[in-house]
Structure 1
């Protein structure tokens, strides 16, 4: 049994637990600490250190982040402090915890976990995992290979920004019943269906705990959909899996059935396996300008 610590940074809480990466099972009681108000990097690092000290595990640590993560840098900050934008978080976390830390987007982590151990287990082809909560997170996986940082919650559907229109927070804000929310979610999912033709949608986030309320009202044209199986543990499990892969702890080398997704992380051809090798990334502005309706960027005339 190989055990790795996974930590999931959320808008309201930061959760951690040791994970058996061969089974996807938590092997200790999960600990949750409220996210410090404002979620400044130094305050979040303090909580990460508390969690690492509490569990006392040696070896690498996997950490999720609610935003774009590229080569260990955090490049957006939709629901956290703007100081995260452009931060070399991998290096800062590794220095603070005294061990290797590997960071990835929170929805990507949930997607990896669901594909390997959850509702996507044994499903080949294209799987699209969506987390409906404060916003809408997304993870696009094809035959087990993750395409990171898709951020499909920021698509525009005519005049509607997807996550501010169809998230679980939008349901509560607009006082929608589950049938009304499912109508919005169906429109969003059908748009994604046209773009990606997934074999399976996995519906995660807070709404997955109430699947019996919306399941019969969600209508798609071609694709299947199922509620997520791992619920609030998915981010923790996916974070631990990612850390295990990057430290070559044998997870990817284990045999799997032919239809079982592998856990390979997609990266640019020729990029170094150690993500902190690239230190030259330019800072990105948090929450960049939305695309116009239809999702096509306009080109400037020469």
Structure 2
């Protein structure tokens, strides 16, 4: 059975997993993200190849805008300094003599859900990752929608919900991720004058009108986002993951009530099956046989 190395690159840690065709993870290692990043990546990849010579290919998921065809980082913020412009595929294939594929991390999470998780059985789905920001992966006819001249296809978090709204890290105002991400919820709590963490907010909403108002605004904005994506993509399902989804037992019913009148057609809305494992599984799927 084919085994590959899946790599999930984040701002604070890099996760490495050896994965087979059935999605079984044999080795799972984490290292702190330090810089220069490419040198760190190559060092640990070479170390793992030496220890596990059965590795046949390498799949890499990373934050940022990615030219997946050429395996190049088109743009990444200073969360990963020096990463913009790195030709990961070219450099790592030369170093390892193995096939290397590189993709955006949210797209990798969508691949994992489509193949092994809550997205199984759907030909067209959108995976929304509600974390520090808002990641989005789009699967159309069982293929990830990716690429574009600037590597920005599927950057759902940077579609605009409220023109002239909250300032976004991309430099524009009113992007989706400024309203439904973990960071956005923290801001909403502060603006409401509440002294709560995001995880305390949702259970508190049943007894605190101000907390309930914050949750209502969050679920309404998420409902509008889902209905807008449906109008553009006509998907079968939306899969919701990321840290914010861990509190979904408190707000999912409210979301369903808010989204129902906004939908053009029936739509399945499911919670993601995978938490932190989605990144390495999806990265592995970039190089595993279909």
TM range (shorter): 0.7 to 0.9
Indicate how the Cα distance of structure 1 residues 7 and 53 shifts in structure 2: closer, same or farther if over 3 A, else same: farther
Indicate how the Cα distance of structure 1 residues 128 and 91 shifts in structure 2: closer, same or farther if over 3 A, else same: same
Deviation at 1:183, TM superposition (A): 3.1
Query: Which residue of structure 2 lines up, in the alignment, with residue 101 of structure 1?
Result: 100
Deviation at 1:115, TM superposition (A): 0.8
Deviation at 1:48, TM superposition (A): 4.2
Where structure 1 has 5 or more consecutive residues not aligned to the other structure, the ranges are 245-250, 253-302
Deviation at 1:67, TM superposition (A): 1.5
Moved more, 177-186 or 155-164: 177-186
Distance 2:2 2:93 in 1: 20
Indicate how the Cα distance of structure 1 residues 142 and 85 shifts in structure 2: closer, same or farther if over 3 A, else same: same
TM-score between the two structures when normalised by the length of structure 1? 0.72
Return the match for 1:204 from 241, 265, 271: 241
Does 1:134 pair with 2:132?
yes
Deviation at 1:192, TM superposition (A): 1.9
Deviation at 1:58, TM superposition (A): 2.8
Deviation at 1:57, TM superposition (A): 3.9
Where structure 2 has 5 or more consecutive residues not aligned to the other structure, the ranges are 147-152, 164-173, 190-197, 203-214
| 1:133-156 CA-partner distances (Å, limit 9, x unpaired) | 121111111220111131111111
Return the match for 1:157 from 144, 158, 161: 161
Matches within 5 A, 1:253-292: none
Query: Which residue of structure 2 lines up, in the alignment, with residue 33 of structure 1?
Result: 31
Query: Which residue of structure 2 lines up, in the alignment, with residue 167 of structure 1?
Result: 181
Matches within 5 A, 1:45-194: 45-50=42-47, 52=49, 55=52, 57-70=54-67, 71-78=70-77, 80-124=79-123, 126-148=124-146, 149-159=153-163, 160-175=174-189, 177-178=201-202, 179-180=215-216, 181-194=218-231
CA contact (8 A) 2:11 2:80 kept: no
CA contact (8 A) 1:64 1:235 kept: yes
| 1:134-183 CA-partner distances (Å, limit 9, x unpaired) | 21111111220111131111111123211122212222343353424333
Indicate how the Cα distance of structure 1 residues 58 and 198 shifts in structure 2: closer, same or farther if over 3 A, else same: closer
TM-score between the two structures when normalised by the length of structure 2? 0.75
**Bigger helix share:** 2
Return the match for 1:236 from 257, 264, 280: 280
